[in-house]
Copies of this chain bind each other. A is one copy, B any other.
Amino acid sequence: MASEGPGRPPNQGEPVPEWLKAEGEACDVVLSTRVRLARNLREVPFAAKANKDQRRLSLDLCRDQLLIAGISPRIAWQELHEAAGVQRALLVERHVISKQLSKGRVGGAGVGGVDDPRGVAYSLPDERVAIMVNEEDHLRIQVIRSGLSLSQAWQQANDIDDRMEAGLAYAYSERFGYLTCCPTNVGTGLRMSAMLHLPALRLTGDIEKVKRAAGDMNLAVRGFYGEGSDAVGDLFQISNQTTLGRSEAAILESLEAQILPRVIEYERLARRDLVAKRRTMLEDHVWRAFGVLSNARFMTTEEAMQSLSLLRLGALLGVLPATPALDLRAINLLLLLIQPAHLQRAVGQELDQEQRRMARATLLRDRVRC
């Protein structure tokens, strides 16, 4: 693969980011799993309190260590305060950086801005590893894996953490563990999450039970673009809320061995039920989605994602013919290519909302076919 990340126009050879590869365990339900560690430098004030010079300092310290730490055979470094808005938007859509890092504004504290020093390092070409500098914390180490693969993601994140710590002095308390900007991350600084595709549970209406059960188990349920985003496209991000007083191993074990397998089985049961007892209803939903995707001339992101969700379900359950255009990875990739910044990159110019809706429909008509 000759291409390198978000810099080239998309085509059939678009490099597929790790989280859309449709590989690994339970990838029929689990789009991806993700491990994130929050770390801060001892010698620089936390982001909410730092001035521009201090941010520049934490950025330089982290970047230097990133480039010598050997965290990936190939890695890209991007200083985000110097990047164009569309470049930052592309990285947000690819889940390489958060919206917050894109804006340069530290959440609750409301400090900082688009010119404030901050950056991201990410592995090429798969974007499996992404390390944000000067987001809410000085360092946010993220490892994403296709399918259910928290252990491996955790292992890699832990390894990167060690390599970074080898050259950086972390803020750490014997009593509390790793210190973070927001108290909800203090302790392990660890967040583990899975991006689940739960269309059958939505169709049967049982999705609300899953949400309630997750809440009872102190898990967070979020949408496709994390905190504050809606669960469009039947995509739900389930993650641990607790970082204090539980070991990394305990968090991993509870999510990977207990909670996620149950949700996965629940969704699979609902899918089998649709096939066995409500096949025509299922086919109606899937084929209508196909009909709209392959014929519309205007489409919002939300409608596209909802229709692609049904297409994905149809591909998985054998409702749609097994053609290359309708395989799981091709459909997953469309979830990314229909996003606003990717559309604008594809046509090579800025588009207003109406133009984006047209470009989105055109791309989908071109790619969604039997």
Contact = CB atoms under 8 A, between A and B. Distances in A.
A369 to B, nearest CB: 12
Contacts of A182: none
Contact of A296 (B291, B293, B297): B291
Nearest to A282: B297
Contacts of A296: 284, 287-288, 291
A292 B298 contact: no
A288 B293 CA distance: 9
A288 B287 CA distance: 12
Nearest to A294: B291
Interface string A278-321: 00110110011011111111100000000000000000000000
Given A280-B358, A358-B280, A297 B287 contact: yes
Contact of A298 (B284, B293, B297): B284
- Interface residue range, chain A: 10 to 19
A287 B295 contact: yes
Question: What's the dominant secondary structure at chain A's contact region?
Answer: helix
A361 interface: yes
Contact of A288 (B284, B290, B292, B358): B292
B297 A280 contact: yes
A139 to B, nearest CB: 46
Contacts of A358: 280
Contact of A280 (B283, B290, B294, B298): B298
Interface centre among A280, A291, A361 (most CB of B within 10 A): A291
Contacts of A288: 291-292, 295-297
A294 B290 CA distance: 10
A343 to B, nearest CB: 16
Contacts of A291: 288, 290-296
Nearest to A358: B280
Contacts of A294: 291
Interface string A257-297: 00000000000000000000000110110011011111111
A281 B280 CA distance: 31
A319 to B, nearest CB: 10
Contacts of A287: 295-297
Contact of A297 (B283, B292, B293): B283
A361 B280 CA distance: 11
A287 B365 CA distance: 11
Contacts of A295: 287-288, 290-291
25 contacts: A280-B297, A280-B298, A280-B358, A281-B297, A281-B298, A283-B297, A284-B296, A284-B297, A284-B298, A284-B361, A287-B295, A287-B296, A288-B291, A288-B292, A288-B295, A288-B296, A288-B297, A290-B291, A290-B295, A291-B291, A291-B292, A291-B293, A291-B294, A291-B295, A292-B292
Interface of A: 280-281, 283-284, 287-288, 290-298, 358, 361
Given A283-B297, A284-B297, A288-B291, 5 more contacts: A287-B297, A288-B296, A290-B291, A291-B293, A291-B296
